[in-house]
């Protein structure tokens, strides 16, 4: 059974008011839950810094009328076979598509995949969202 540790935190009053507004917006039930999430987020960031096995999503929007773009994007995904676990393709309108890819591997390798995809001419916007496999987090 896990035990809880209690500790006090001193903050500038204005910072605490901003934090309380964040807690309300995000529907946390209390400050402890919000602080736990902030700590977990910092620990997940360290997983990437330490280049551990982790997961991410790579999301990007592109103009499918750009010649040869779809082929280039698929080719890059095949080059990183083993890192791309799944994908979703959405037609946003007549000109634009959205791709969401789930990637798994060492942090540096996933960043390399994302950089390769997001730098292709015709990709209008993209984002790498790093997360964790959950191992070791409490």
Provide the residue range defining the domain that includes 23: 13-49
If one counts the domains in the chain, the total is 2
Residues of the chain with pLDDT under 50: none
CB proximity list for 63: less than 8 A, separation 6 or greater: 69, 95, 96, 122, 124
Does residue 135 lie in a domain region? no
Domain shared by 58 and 43, yes or no: no
Domain shared by 57 and 43, yes or no: no
DSSP-based helix, strand, coil % in the chain, nearest 5: 40, 30, 30
- State residue 14 phi and psi, 5-degree precision: -65, -40
Predicted pLDDT of residue 46: 77
Digit-coded pLDDT (tens) for 33-69: 999 989 888 887 777 766 788 899 999 999 999 999 9
- DSSP state letter for 81: B
Predicted pLDDT of residue 53: 85
């Amino acid at each position: 059974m896990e035990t809880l540790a209690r500790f006090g935190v001193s903050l500038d009053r204005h910072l605490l008011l901003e934090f309380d507004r964040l807690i309300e917006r995000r529907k946390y039930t209390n400050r402890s839950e919000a602080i736990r999430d902030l700590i977990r987020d910092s620990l997940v960031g360290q997983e990437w810094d330490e280049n551990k096995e982790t997961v991410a999503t790579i999301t990007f929007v592109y103009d499918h009328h750009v010649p040869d773009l779809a082929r280039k994007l698929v080719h890059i995904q095949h080059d990183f076979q083993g890192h791309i676990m799944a994908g979703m393709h959405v037609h946003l309108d007549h000109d634009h598509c959205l791709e969401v890819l789930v990637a798994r591997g060492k942090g540096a390798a996933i960043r390399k995949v994302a950089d390769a995809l997001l730098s292709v001419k015709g990709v209008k916007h993209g984002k790498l969202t790093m997360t964790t496999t959950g191992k070791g987090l409490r």
